[in-house]
Amino acid sequence: MIMITKRVILTFFIASLVLNARADFPFGKGRRILFPSFAFSSAQRNYDRNGSTVSMGQGGGFSSTSFALFFGYGISRNLDFSANIPFANQVLKNSAAKLTNAGFGDANFSLAYHIPSEDLKNFLTLKAGVYVPMYAGAVTPSLGYGNNGLSLGANYSFSPYKDGFCIADLTHIRYFADDGSGPNVTSYGITFGKSFNVFHLFTVGLTHTKSTSVNKNFSVDLPQNRDFSTGRLTLGYGRRANRMMMPFFQVYYTPYGKNAGVSYGASLSIISKLP
């Protein structure tokens, strides 16, 4: 039986952390992971219900600057716990006014169970989690839906080429609004990555998200939209600093969508393994 190489194991492990904290590869029993991430996104145009781009008007736009802290802990060899706490500053503006709102967003707590193949080359990960809003009341621009959510998902990770990986994932989130507007959000995507000399990691991914709700209204306050679809293309690069730390940089763009912002942005994560 040919075991997966240590280099590919390291590649999977790093990828599991930087790709939206999906935890595709087990952390390891008793191992703790901590990393902060900084992100910026902006949109000056929107996709209408037909997928055509529409300007927000002279001086109009929506932007978000956020900081998030991710913590992961290996409960056993195959079971992991993770928590993600975000803090965001939202800005909504037009030619006449500028509105801002800053605060904690939706905290996420989840469990991931990993099922490896016999040769440890492939991993199936099953996930379940909850979203808890850490804010109260409806303020414009919004920090989120303001509703609790339940998520279920699955990922399949494998190594299709030397020192590389592929992650295919599917996630469904159900938000519980008092008026029954949900929404139900389903995302599926695929990410490819390759490491060079262990120290350099490159990734490219595409994620499609479909959100459905009885509330079909569109708002330039983008986090409030409940019925939409969008695609996100992401490129990433990481440089291993030492055995305990790796900075990872990502940029993204939304090449298509409906009832969504034509968004672009960037993020920086500093991955650290705790002793």
Query: Residue ranges of the domains in the chain?
Result: 6-274
- Average pLDDT for the chain: 89
Comparing 8-17, 75-84, 124-133, 175-184, the range with the smallest average pLDDT is 8-17
CATH architecture of 6-274: Beta Barrel (2.40)
CA distance between the termini of the chain: 32
Six-digit token string for 52: 């055509």
Determine the Cα–Cα distance for residues 254 and 228; give it in Å rounded to an integer. 13
Q: What is the pLDDT of residue 120?
A: 72
SS3 at position 34: strand
Q: What is the pLDDT of residue 11?
A: 52
Determine the Cα–Cα distance for residues 178 and 172; give it in Å rounded to an integer. 19
- Digit-coded pLDDT (tens) for 234-259: 999 988 877 777 889 999 999 999 99
Structure pTM?
Answer: 0.89
Residue 261 has pLDDT above 50, yes or no: yes
- Digit-coded pLDDT (tens) for 81-117: 999 999 999 999 998 899 999 999 999 999 999 998 8
Query: What is the percentage of the chain residues whose pLDDT exceeds 90?
Result: 68
The model's confidence at residue 18, banded by pLDDT at 50, 70 and 90, is low
SS3 at position 67: strand
- Residue 86 Ramachandran class (φ > 0 left, ψ -120 to 50 alpha, else beta): beta
Six-digit token string for 93: 């503006």
Residue 274 has pLDDT above 70, yes or no: no
The DSSP output letter for 242 is B
Determine the Cα–Cα distance for residues 147 and 133; give it in Å rounded to an integer. 6
Q: Which residues contact 53 (CB under 8 A, 6 or more apart)?
A: 45, 46, 47, 262
| Better-predicted residue by pLDDT, 28 or 114 | 114
Largest CA distance in the chain: 67
- Digit-coded pLDDT (tens) for 263-272: 999 999 887 7
Residue 9 has pLDDT above 70, yes or no: no
Q: What is the pLDDT of residue 275?
A: 63
CB 173 within 8 A of CB 211: no
- Digit-coded pLDDT (tens) for 126-180: 999 999 999 987 889 999 999 999 999 999 988 888 888 899 999 999 999 999 9
The DSSP output letter for 236 is E
**Cβ atoms within 10 Å, residue 120:** 14
Q: What is the pLDDT of residue 22?
A: 41
